[in-house]
Protein backbone atom coordinates (compact mmCIF):
# COMPACT_ATOMS: atom_id res chain seq x y z
CA UNK A 1 0.00 0.00 0.00
CA UNK A 2 1.57 3.32 -1.01
CA UNK A 3 2.27 5.66 1.85
CA UNK A 4 0.15 8.45 0.43
CA UNK A 5 -2.93 6.24 0.93
CA UNK A 6 -2.40 6.88 4.64
CA UNK A 7 -1.86 10.59 4.37
CA UNK A 8 -4.69 11.66 6.70
CA UNK A 9 -3.40 9.26 9.32
CA UNK A 10 -6.82 7.77 9.92
CA UNK A 11 -7.23 5.31 7.09
CA UNK A 12 -8.11 1.76 8.03
CA UNK A 13 -5.43 0.20 5.84
CA UNK A 14 -2.41 -0.51 7.94
CA UNK A 15 1.19 -0.02 6.79
CA UNK A 16 2.00 -3.62 7.65
CA UNK A 17 5.48 -3.36 6.16
CA UNK A 18 6.39 -0.78 8.83
CA UNK A 19 4.86 -2.52 11.86
CA UNK A 20 6.93 -5.05 13.80
CA UNK A 21 5.58 -8.53 13.24
CA UNK A 22 5.38 -9.23 16.99
CA UNK A 23 2.70 -6.54 17.36
CA UNK A 24 0.08 -8.15 15.14
CA UNK A 25 1.00 -11.68 14.19
CA UNK A 26 0.18 -14.42 16.70
CA UNK A 27 3.24 -16.52 17.48
CA UNK A 28 3.73 -19.99 15.99
CA UNK A 29 2.79 -23.01 18.13
CA UNK A 30 4.74 -24.60 19.73
CA UNK A 31 7.61 -22.19 20.20
CA UNK A 32 10.47 -21.16 22.42
CA UNK A 33 11.31 -17.55 23.12
CA UNK A 34 13.93 -15.53 24.89
CA UNK A 35 13.83 -12.02 26.29
CA UNK A 36 17.17 -10.21 26.46
CA UNK A 37 17.49 -6.82 28.12
CA UNK A 38 20.32 -4.41 27.30
CA UNK A 39 21.76 -1.34 28.94
CA UNK A 40 23.08 1.39 26.66
CA UNK A 41 26.21 3.00 28.10
CA UNK A 42 27.11 4.93 24.97
CA UNK A 43 24.44 6.57 22.75
CA UNK A 44 26.44 5.85 19.57
CA UNK A 45 26.58 2.14 20.38
CA UNK A 46 22.87 2.23 21.16
CA UNK A 47 22.12 3.71 17.75
CA UNK A 48 24.35 1.14 16.12
CA UNK A 49 22.32 -1.55 17.91
CA UNK A 50 19.11 -0.01 16.51
CA UNK A 51 20.60 -0.04 12.99
CA UNK A 52 21.61 -3.69 13.27
CA UNK A 53 18.35 -4.77 14.85
CA UNK A 54 16.28 -2.94 12.21
CA UNK A 55 17.82 -5.28 9.61
CA UNK A 56 16.58 -8.43 11.34
CA UNK A 57 13.22 -7.36 12.74
CA UNK A 58 10.42 -8.79 10.62
CA UNK A 59 7.52 -6.63 9.54
CA UNK A 60 3.91 -7.75 9.91
CA UNK A 61 3.70 -7.86 6.08
CA UNK A 62 6.37 -10.50 5.86
CA UNK A 63 5.60 -14.12 6.75
CA UNK A 64 9.31 -15.04 6.55
CA UNK A 65 12.15 -13.75 8.70
CA UNK A 66 15.68 -12.77 7.58
CA UNK A 67 16.87 -15.07 10.39
CA UNK A 68 15.26 -18.19 8.88
CA UNK A 69 12.82 -19.48 11.52
CA UNK A 70 13.59 -16.96 14.25
CA UNK A 71 11.53 -13.81 14.65
CA UNK A 72 12.95 -10.83 16.46
CA UNK A 73 11.09 -7.87 17.98
CA UNK A 74 12.66 -4.94 19.75
CA UNK A 75 11.24 -2.47 22.25
CA UNK A 76 12.71 0.38 24.29
CA UNK A 77 11.98 1.79 27.69
CA UNK A 78 11.69 5.52 28.34
CA UNK A 79 15.19 5.39 29.87
CA UNK A 80 16.37 3.58 26.75
CA UNK A 81 15.06 6.29 24.41
CA UNK A 82 16.75 8.85 26.64
CA UNK A 83 20.02 6.90 26.54
CA UNK A 84 19.87 6.97 22.72
CA UNK A 85 19.62 10.74 22.84
CA UNK A 86 16.00 11.17 21.71
CA UNK A 87 15.18 14.88 22.09
CA UNK A 88 13.12 15.93 25.11
CA UNK A 89 10.22 17.20 23.00
CA UNK A 90 9.95 13.79 21.31
CA UNK A 91 10.12 11.97 24.66
CA UNK A 92 7.34 14.12 26.05
CA UNK A 93 5.07 13.28 23.13
CA UNK A 94 4.97 9.65 24.27
CA UNK A 95 2.42 8.32 26.76
CA UNK A 96 2.52 9.60 30.34
CA UNK A 97 2.40 6.13 31.90
CA UNK A 98 5.25 4.98 29.64
CA UNK A 99 7.36 7.89 30.81
CA UNK A 100 6.72 7.01 34.46
CA UNK A 101 7.74 3.35 34.00
CA UNK A 102 6.06 0.34 35.56
CA UNK A 103 7.76 0.48 38.97
CA UNK A 104 6.46 4.01 39.55
CA UNK A 105 2.92 2.76 38.90
CA UNK A 106 3.19 -0.13 41.42
CA UNK A 107 0.52 1.14 43.78
CA UNK A 108 -2.07 1.52 40.98
CA UNK A 109 -1.20 -1.94 39.63
CA UNK A 110 -1.50 -3.75 42.98
CA UNK A 111 2.24 -4.46 42.95
CA UNK A 112 2.53 -4.23 46.71
CA UNK A 113 3.95 -6.46 49.48
CA UNK A 114 5.86 -9.35 47.92
CA UNK A 115 5.02 -8.01 44.42
CA UNK A 116 6.45 -4.56 45.23
CA UNK A 117 9.32 -3.25 43.05
CA UNK A 118 11.80 -3.47 45.94
CA UNK A 119 11.32 -7.25 45.78
CA UNK A 120 11.60 -7.49 41.97
CA UNK A 121 14.26 -9.50 40.24
CA UNK A 122 17.21 -7.28 39.31
CA UNK A 123 17.53 -5.28 37.07
CA UNK A 124 13.75 -5.25 36.38
CA UNK A 125 12.22 -1.93 37.33
CA UNK A 126 15.60 -0.16 37.40
CA UNK A 127 16.74 2.68 35.16
CA UNK A 128 19.38 0.32 33.67
CA UNK A 129 16.82 -1.50 31.55
CA UNK A 130 16.94 0.20 28.13
CA UNK A 131 16.24 -2.23 25.30
CA UNK A 132 14.24 -5.46 25.32
CA UNK A 133 14.84 -7.86 22.48
CA UNK A 134 12.47 -10.79 22.03
CA UNK A 135 13.44 -13.72 19.80
CA UNK A 136 10.91 -16.44 18.99
CA UNK A 137 11.67 -19.77 17.25
CA UNK A 138 9.87 -23.08 16.74
CA UNK A 139 12.53 -24.91 18.80
CA UNK A 140 15.52 -24.47 21.08
CA UNK A 141 18.10 -25.49 18.49
CA UNK A 142 17.06 -22.88 15.93
CA UNK A 143 16.73 -20.23 18.60
CA UNK A 144 20.22 -20.88 19.95
CA UNK A 145 21.69 -20.86 16.44
CA UNK A 146 20.22 -17.41 15.82
CA UNK A 147 21.28 -16.19 19.26
CA UNK A 148 24.86 -17.37 18.77
CA UNK A 149 25.11 -15.01 15.83
CA UNK A 150 23.44 -12.19 17.79
CA UNK A 151 25.76 -12.72 20.77
CA UNK A 152 28.84 -12.40 18.57
CA UNK A 153 27.50 -9.06 17.40
CA UNK A 154 26.50 -7.46 20.67
CA UNK A 155 29.50 -8.75 22.63
CA UNK A 156 31.76 -7.03 20.13
CA UNK A 157 29.96 -3.73 20.72
CA UNK A 158 31.42 -1.76 23.59
CA UNK A 159 28.84 0.61 25.03
CA UNK A 160 26.07 -2.04 25.05
CA UNK A 161 25.63 -4.62 27.78
CA UNK A 162 23.22 -7.55 27.97
CA UNK A 163 22.00 -7.39 31.58
CA UNK A 164 19.12 -9.88 31.82
CA UNK A 165 17.73 -12.86 29.99
CA UNK A 166 14.59 -14.91 30.40
CA UNK A 167 13.87 -18.07 28.43
CA UNK A 168 10.26 -19.08 27.85
CA UNK A 169 8.31 -21.70 25.95
CA UNK A 170 4.84 -22.42 24.67
CA UNK A 171 3.81 -26.07 24.67
CA UNK A 172 1.82 -27.51 21.73
CA UNK A 173 -1.26 -27.33 23.98
CA UNK A 174 -0.35 -23.74 24.98
CA UNK A 175 -0.90 -24.80 28.59
CA UNK A 176 0.15 -22.22 31.17
CA UNK A 177 1.60 -23.39 34.54
CA UNK A 178 -1.79 -23.67 36.35
CA UNK A 179 -2.78 -26.12 33.62
CA UNK A 180 -5.21 -24.05 31.50
CA UNK A 181 -4.99 -23.72 27.74
CA UNK A 182 -3.91 -20.16 26.99
CA UNK A 183 -3.56 -18.09 23.83
CA UNK A 184 -7.19 -18.52 22.78
CA UNK A 185 -8.74 -15.05 22.65
CA UNK A 186 -7.31 -12.51 20.18
CA UNK A 187 -8.95 -9.37 18.83
CA UNK A 188 -9.23 -8.76 15.09
CA UNK A 189 -7.79 -5.45 13.87
CA UNK A 190 -9.24 -3.49 10.96
CA UNK A 191 -6.93 -3.44 7.98
CA UNK A 192 -4.52 -6.09 9.32
CA UNK A 193 -5.94 -9.02 7.40
CA UNK A 194 -5.17 -11.11 10.49
CA UNK A 195 -8.38 -12.69 11.81
CA UNK A 196 -9.49 -12.49 15.43
CA UNK A 197 -10.68 -15.52 17.37
CA UNK A 198 -14.25 -14.47 18.19
CA UNK A 199 -16.59 -14.30 15.17
CA UNK A 200 -19.03 -12.34 17.37
CA UNK A 201 -16.51 -9.60 18.16
CA UNK A 202 -16.33 -6.69 15.70
CA UNK A 203 -12.78 -5.96 14.50
CA UNK A 204 -11.11 -3.12 16.40
CA UNK A 205 -9.99 0.19 14.99
CA UNK A 206 -6.28 -0.05 14.23
CA UNK A 207 -5.53 2.91 16.51
CA UNK A 208 -6.41 0.77 19.54
CA UNK A 209 -3.19 -1.16 18.90
CA UNK A 210 -1.00 0.92 16.60
CA UNK A 211 -0.11 4.62 16.90
CA UNK A 212 -1.03 6.91 14.04
CA UNK A 213 -4.47 5.47 13.25
CA UNK A 214 -7.97 6.23 14.47
CA UNK A 215 -8.87 4.36 17.68
CA UNK A 216 -12.20 3.18 19.10
CA UNK A 217 -13.00 6.69 20.38
CA UNK A 218 -12.00 8.41 17.13
CA UNK A 219 -8.68 9.75 18.47
CA UNK A 220 -5.36 9.47 16.62
CA UNK A 221 -2.14 9.36 18.66
CA UNK A 222 0.70 11.25 17.06
CA UNK A 223 4.18 11.98 18.34
CA UNK A 224 6.72 14.72 17.66
CA UNK A 225 8.20 14.00 15.19
CA UNK A 226 5.47 11.86 13.72
CA UNK A 227 7.91 9.22 12.46
CA UNK A 228 8.84 8.22 16.02
CA UNK A 229 5.36 6.99 16.95
CA UNK A 230 3.81 6.03 13.64
CA UNK A 231 3.26 2.27 13.34
CA UNK A 232 4.68 1.76 16.81
CA UNK A 233 2.89 0.60 19.94
CA UNK A 234 3.34 0.13 23.66
CA UNK A 235 4.22 -3.24 25.11
CA UNK A 236 3.81 -4.02 28.78
CA UNK A 237 6.23 -6.77 29.87
CA UNK A 238 5.54 -8.52 33.14
CA UNK A 239 7.22 -11.50 34.72
CA UNK A 240 4.54 -13.22 36.81
CA UNK A 241 5.52 -16.02 39.18
CA UNK A 242 2.78 -18.64 39.65
CA UNK A 243 2.28 -20.59 42.87
CA UNK A 244 1.07 -23.77 41.26
CA UNK A 245 1.17 -26.02 44.35
CA UNK A 246 -0.77 -23.41 46.37
CA UNK A 247 -3.38 -23.22 43.59
CA UNK A 248 -3.77 -27.02 43.58
CA UNK A 249 -3.98 -27.12 47.39
CA UNK A 250 -6.66 -24.43 47.38
CA UNK A 251 -8.80 -26.28 44.84
CA UNK A 252 -8.54 -29.49 46.87
CA UNK A 253 -9.27 -27.88 50.21
CA UNK A 254 -12.41 -26.20 48.81
CA UNK A 255 -13.90 -29.15 46.93
CA UNK A 256 -15.48 -32.44 47.82
CA UNK A 257 -14.23 -34.51 44.86
CA UNK A 258 -11.82 -34.40 41.91
CA UNK A 259 -14.70 -33.41 39.62
CA UNK A 260 -15.67 -30.64 42.02
CA UNK A 261 -12.05 -29.37 41.97
CA UNK A 262 -12.13 -29.11 38.20
CA UNK A 263 -15.45 -27.27 38.32
CA UNK A 264 -14.09 -24.80 40.88
CA UNK A 265 -10.97 -24.23 38.73
CA UNK A 266 -13.20 -23.63 35.70
CA UNK A 267 -15.44 -21.21 37.62
CA UNK A 268 -12.38 -19.21 38.70
CA UNK A 269 -11.02 -19.05 35.15
CA UNK A 270 -14.27 -19.03 33.13
CA UNK A 271 -12.91 -21.90 31.04
CA UNK A 272 -12.16 -25.55 31.73
CA UNK A 273 -8.49 -26.42 31.64
CA UNK A 274 -8.95 -27.73 28.08
CA UNK A 275 -9.91 -24.18 27.07
CA UNK A 276 -13.60 -25.05 26.64
CA UNK A 277 -15.59 -22.02 27.84
CA UNK A 278 -18.20 -22.38 30.60
CA UNK A 279 -20.38 -20.19 28.41
CA UNK A 280 -20.73 -23.07 25.93
CA UNK A 281 -20.41 -26.11 28.25
CA UNK A 282 -21.23 -25.09 31.83
CA UNK A 283 -21.56 -28.55 33.41
CA UNK A 284 -18.69 -30.62 32.08
CA UNK A 285 -15.44 -30.21 30.19
CA UNK A 286 -15.38 -30.73 26.42
CA UNK A 287 -11.73 -31.05 25.34
CA UNK A 288 -12.67 -31.22 21.67
CA UNK A 289 -14.41 -27.85 21.95
CA UNK A 290 -11.52 -26.49 24.03
CA UNK A 291 -9.05 -27.25 21.25
CA UNK A 292 -11.25 -26.07 18.37
CA UNK A 293 -10.25 -22.52 17.39
CA UNK A 294 -13.42 -22.08 15.32
CA UNK A 295 -15.65 -22.63 18.37
CA UNK A 296 -13.70 -22.07 21.60
CA UNK A 297 -14.10 -18.30 21.57
CA UNK A 298 -17.45 -18.00 19.79
CA UNK A 299 -19.63 -16.66 22.61
CA UNK A 300 -20.98 -13.63 24.43
CA UNK A 301 -22.26 -13.34 28.01
CA UNK A 302 -25.25 -11.03 28.39
CA UNK A 303 -28.17 -12.57 26.50
CA UNK A 304 -27.47 -16.08 27.68
CA UNK A 305 -25.98 -15.63 31.14
CA UNK A 306 -26.65 -12.15 32.57
CA UNK A 307 -26.24 -13.22 36.22
CA UNK A 308 -23.14 -15.34 35.72
CA UNK A 309 -24.69 -18.69 36.63
CA UNK A 310 -22.55 -20.25 33.91
CA UNK A 311 -19.53 -17.94 33.79
CA UNK A 312 -19.22 -15.97 37.05
CA UNK A 313 -18.83 -12.23 36.55
CA UNK A 314 -15.76 -12.49 38.79
CA UNK A 315 -14.01 -15.23 36.78
CA UNK A 316 -10.70 -14.31 35.13
CA UNK A 317 -11.86 -14.23 31.51
CA UNK A 318 -15.16 -12.45 32.19
CA UNK A 319 -13.40 -9.78 34.21
CA UNK A 320 -10.59 -9.30 31.69
CA UNK A 321 -12.94 -9.20 28.70
CA UNK A 322 -16.58 -8.77 29.77
CA UNK A 323 -17.59 -8.81 26.08
CA UNK A 324 -21.26 -7.73 25.97
CA UNK A 325 -21.92 -8.17 29.74
CA UNK A 326 -23.67 -5.28 31.51
CA UNK A 327 -20.88 -3.43 33.30
CA UNK A 328 -20.06 0.14 34.25
CA UNK A 329 -18.37 1.69 31.21
CA UNK A 330 -17.59 0.48 27.71
CA UNK A 331 -15.71 -2.83 27.50
CA UNK A 332 -14.29 -2.47 23.98
CA UNK A 333 -11.95 0.41 24.68
CA UNK A 334 -10.04 -1.68 27.21
CA UNK A 335 -9.29 -4.65 24.92
CA UNK A 336 -5.62 -5.70 24.69
CA UNK A 337 -3.49 -8.04 22.63
CA UNK A 338 -1.90 -10.61 24.92
CA UNK A 339 1.12 -12.80 24.43
CA UNK A 340 1.75 -15.00 27.45
CA UNK A 341 4.66 -17.45 27.41
CA UNK A 342 5.45 -19.89 30.21
CA UNK A 343 8.83 -19.88 31.91
CA UNK A 344 10.32 -22.55 34.17
CA UNK A 345 9.48 -26.26 34.13
CA UNK A 346 5.87 -27.31 34.67
CA UNK A 347 5.12 -28.72 38.15
CA UNK A 348 4.48 -32.43 37.48
CA UNK A 349 0.85 -33.40 37.64
CA UNK A 350 -0.36 -34.47 41.07
CA UNK A 351 2.46 -32.74 43.00
CA UNK A 352 0.87 -30.74 45.80
CA UNK A 353 3.97 -29.38 47.50
CA UNK A 354 5.98 -26.42 46.27
CA UNK A 355 9.33 -27.59 44.88
CA UNK A 356 10.89 -24.13 45.19
CA UNK A 357 11.37 -23.79 41.42
CA UNK A 358 10.49 -20.46 39.81
CA UNK A 359 7.78 -20.86 37.17
CA UNK A 360 5.12 -18.62 35.69
CA UNK A 361 4.32 -16.48 32.70
CA UNK A 362 6.25 -13.82 30.85
CA UNK A 363 3.40 -11.58 29.81
CA UNK A 364 3.39 -9.08 27.01
CA UNK A 365 0.33 -6.85 26.61
CA UNK A 366 0.24 -4.86 23.40
CA UNK A 367 -1.86 -1.73 22.98
CA UNK A 368 -1.72 1.92 21.98
CA UNK A 369 -3.00 3.12 25.38
CA UNK A 370 -1.22 1.76 28.48
CA UNK A 371 -3.56 3.66 30.80
CA UNK A 372 -6.85 2.80 29.13
CA UNK A 373 -5.93 -0.79 28.38
CA UNK A 374 -3.43 -2.59 30.65
CA UNK A 375 -3.57 -0.26 33.68
CA UNK A 376 -7.36 -0.01 33.59
CA UNK A 377 -7.89 -3.76 33.32
CA UNK A 378 -5.31 -4.48 36.02
CA UNK A 379 -6.62 -1.93 38.52
CA UNK A 380 -10.38 -1.79 37.82
CA UNK A 381 -11.28 -5.19 36.46
CA UNK A 382 -8.68 -7.54 38.03
CA UNK A 383 -8.33 -5.85 41.43
CA UNK A 384 -11.85 -4.49 41.96
CA UNK A 385 -15.41 -5.71 41.54
CA UNK A 386 -17.41 -2.49 41.43
CA UNK A 387 -17.66 -2.47 37.64
CA UNK A 388 -20.04 -5.46 37.67
CA UNK A 389 -21.63 -4.87 41.07
CA UNK A 390 -19.42 -7.17 43.18
CA UNK A 391 -18.01 -4.64 45.62
CA UNK A 392 -14.36 -5.30 46.44
CA UNK A 393 -14.21 -8.85 45.01
CA UNK A 394 -11.03 -9.49 42.97
CA UNK A 395 -9.84 -11.82 40.25
CA UNK A 396 -9.47 -15.22 41.98
CA UNK A 397 -6.58 -16.25 39.70
CA UNK A 398 -4.42 -13.11 39.44
CA UNK A 399 -5.85 -10.68 42.02
CA UNK A 400 -3.66 -9.00 44.62
CA UNK A 401 -4.17 -8.59 48.38
CA UNK A 402 -7.35 -9.73 50.13
CA UNK A 403 -9.17 -11.80 47.48
CA UNK A 404 -12.86 -12.68 47.64
CA UNK A 405 -14.79 -14.39 44.85
CA UNK A 406 -18.54 -14.89 44.44
CA UNK A 407 -19.97 -17.89 42.64
CA UNK A 408 -23.54 -17.20 41.50
CA UNK A 409 -25.60 -20.36 42.21
CA UNK A 410 -29.20 -21.36 42.85
CA UNK A 411 -30.73 -21.25 45.41
CA UNK A 412 -27.88 -19.35 47.12
CA UNK A 413 -24.60 -17.97 45.85
CA UNK A 414 -21.32 -19.28 47.24
CA UNK A 415 -18.76 -16.82 48.52
CA UNK A 416 -15.09 -17.75 48.76
CA UNK A 417 -13.22 -15.43 51.08
CA UNK A 418 -9.55 -14.93 51.81
CA UNK A 419 -8.29 -16.68 48.67
CA UNK A 420 -4.46 -16.73 48.80
CA UNK A 421 -2.42 -14.86 46.22
CA UNK A 422 -1.43 -17.30 43.48
CA UNK A 423 0.46 -14.86 41.24
CA UNK A 424 3.37 -12.67 42.33
CA UNK A 425 4.95 -9.97 40.17
CA UNK A 426 8.68 -10.53 39.75
CA UNK A 427 9.14 -7.38 37.68
CA UNK A 428 8.34 -5.76 34.40
CA UNK A 429 8.51 -2.59 32.37
CA UNK A 430 6.57 -0.37 30.00
CA UNK A 431 8.21 -0.36 26.58
CA UNK A 432 7.66 1.28 23.24
CA UNK A 433 7.93 -0.94 20.16
CA UNK A 434 8.74 1.40 17.27
CA UNK A 435 7.84 0.87 13.62
CA UNK A 436 10.69 -0.11 11.31
CA UNK A 437 11.15 3.41 9.90
CA UNK A 438 11.25 4.74 13.46
CA UNK A 439 13.97 2.21 14.32
CA UNK A 440 16.05 3.59 11.45
CA UNK A 441 15.26 7.14 12.62
CA UNK A 442 16.57 6.20 16.07
CA UNK A 443 19.69 4.69 14.47
CA UNK A 444 20.38 7.96 12.68
CA UNK A 445 19.89 10.34 15.62
CA UNK A 446 22.65 12.85 16.06
CA UNK A 447 24.08 13.86 19.40
C1 LIG B 1 -0.07 -15.57 35.69
C2 LIG B 1 -1.12 -14.84 35.49
C3 LIG B 1 -2.19 -15.18 34.47
C4 LIG B 1 -2.63 -16.38 34.02
C5 LIG B 1 -2.18 -17.75 34.46
C6 LIG B 1 -3.63 -16.12 33.01
C7 LIG B 1 -4.30 -17.10 32.32
C8 LIG B 1 -5.26 -16.87 31.35
C9 LIG B 1 -5.93 -17.88 30.61
C10 LIG B 1 -5.73 -19.38 30.77
C11 LIG B 1 -6.80 -17.27 29.77
C12 LIG B 1 -7.78 -17.95 28.82
C13 LIG B 1 -7.20 -18.16 27.46
C14 LIG B 1 -7.49 -17.07 26.46
O15 LIG B 1 -8.55 -16.44 26.51
O16 LIG B 1 -6.65 -16.85 25.59
C17 LIG B 1 -6.64 -15.85 29.96
C18 LIG B 1 -7.31 -14.88 29.27
C19 LIG B 1 -7.11 -13.53 29.45
N20 LIG B 1 -6.32 -12.92 30.37
FE21 LIG B 1 -5.12 -13.84 31.67
N22 LIG B 1 -3.78 -14.76 32.89
C23 LIG B 1 -2.93 -14.14 33.76
C24 LIG B 1 -2.79 -12.80 33.96
C25 LIG B 1 -3.52 -11.84 33.34
C26 LIG B 1 -3.46 -10.44 33.64
C27 LIG B 1 -2.56 -9.81 34.72
C28 LIG B 1 -4.33 -9.81 32.79
C29 LIG B 1 -4.68 -8.35 32.67
C30 LIG B 1 -4.15 -7.36 33.32
C31 LIG B 1 -4.92 -10.84 31.95
C32 LIG B 1 -5.81 -10.59 30.94
C33 LIG B 1 -6.41 -11.57 30.20
C34 LIG B 1 -7.29 -11.28 29.08
C35 LIG B 1 -7.65 -9.90 28.52
C36 LIG B 1 -7.73 -12.51 28.62
C37 LIG B 1 -8.66 -12.77 27.44
C38 LIG B 1 -10.08 -12.89 27.91
C39 LIG B 1 -11.02 -13.10 26.76
O40 LIG B 1 -10.88 -12.43 25.77
O41 LIG B 1 -11.90 -13.94 26.91
N42 LIG B 1 -4.42 -12.05 32.32
N43 LIG B 1 -5.70 -15.64 30.95
**DSSP per residue over 98-113, as a string?**
HHH-TGGGHHHHT--G
Distance 10 CA to ligand 1 centre (A): 30
Distance 20 CA to ligand 1 centre (A): 23
Distance 182 CA to ligand 1 centre (A): 8
Q: Is 378 in the pocket of ligand 1 (CB under 6 A)?
A: yes
pLDDT at site 168: 95
179: closest CA among 238, 239, 254, 248? 248
Distance 397 CA to ligand 1 centre (A): 9
Tens-digit pLDDT profile for residues 72-128: 999 999 999 999 999 999 999 999 999 999 999 999 999 999 999 999 999 999 999
Q: Is 126 in the pocket of ligand 1 (CB under 6 A)?
A: no
pLDDT at site 8: 37
Distance CA 394, CA 384 (A): 5
Q: Whose CA is nearest to atom 2 of ligand 1?
A: 398
pLDDT at site 7: 36
pLDDT at site 264: 98
Report yes or no: 375 and 254 within 8 Å, Cβ to Cβ.
no
Distance 317 CA to ligand 1 centre (A): 6
Tens-digit pLDDT profile for residues 207-243: 999 999 999 999 999 999 999 999 999 999 999 999 9
Distance CA 34, CA 66 (A): 18
Rg of the chain (C-alpha set): 22
Distance 184 CA to ligand 1 centre (A): 9
pLDDT at site 11: 52
Q: Is 16 in the pocket of ligand 1 (CB under 6 A)?
A: no
Task: Give the atom of ligand 1 at the shortest distance from the alpha carbon of 184.
Answer: 16
Q: Is 72 in the pocket of ligand 1 (CB under 6 A)?
A: no
- Hey, is 407 helix, strand or coil? strand
Q: Which segments in the chain show pLDDT lower than 70? A: 1-12
Q: Whose CA is nearest to atom 11 of ligand 1?
A: 182
Q: Which of 185, 293, 331 to mutate to test the pocket of ligand 1 (most atoms within 8 A of CB)?
A: 185
Report yes or no: 313 and 294 within 8 Å, Cβ to Cβ.
no
Distance CA 24, CA 194 (A): 8
Q: Which of 26, 317, 364, 370 to mutate to test the pocket of ligand 1 (most atoms within 8 A of CB)?
A: 317
Q: Whose CA is nearest to atom 38 of ligand 1?
A: 317
Beta bridge partners of 134: 35, 73
pLDDT at site 156: 85
Distance 185 CA to ligand 1 centre (A): 9
Amino acid sequence: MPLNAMSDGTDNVLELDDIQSGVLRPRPTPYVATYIAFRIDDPKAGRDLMARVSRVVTSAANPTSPLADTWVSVALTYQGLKALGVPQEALESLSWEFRQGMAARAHELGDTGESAPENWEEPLGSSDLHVVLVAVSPDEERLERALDRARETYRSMSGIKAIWRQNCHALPTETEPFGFRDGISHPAIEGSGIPGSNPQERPFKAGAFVLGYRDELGGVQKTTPEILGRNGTYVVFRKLHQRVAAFRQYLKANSTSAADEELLAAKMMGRWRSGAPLALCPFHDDPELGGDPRRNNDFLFEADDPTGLKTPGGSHIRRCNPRDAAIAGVARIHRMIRRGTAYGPMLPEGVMVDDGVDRGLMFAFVGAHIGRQFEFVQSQWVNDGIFFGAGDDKDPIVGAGEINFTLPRKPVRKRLQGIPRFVVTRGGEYCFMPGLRALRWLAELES
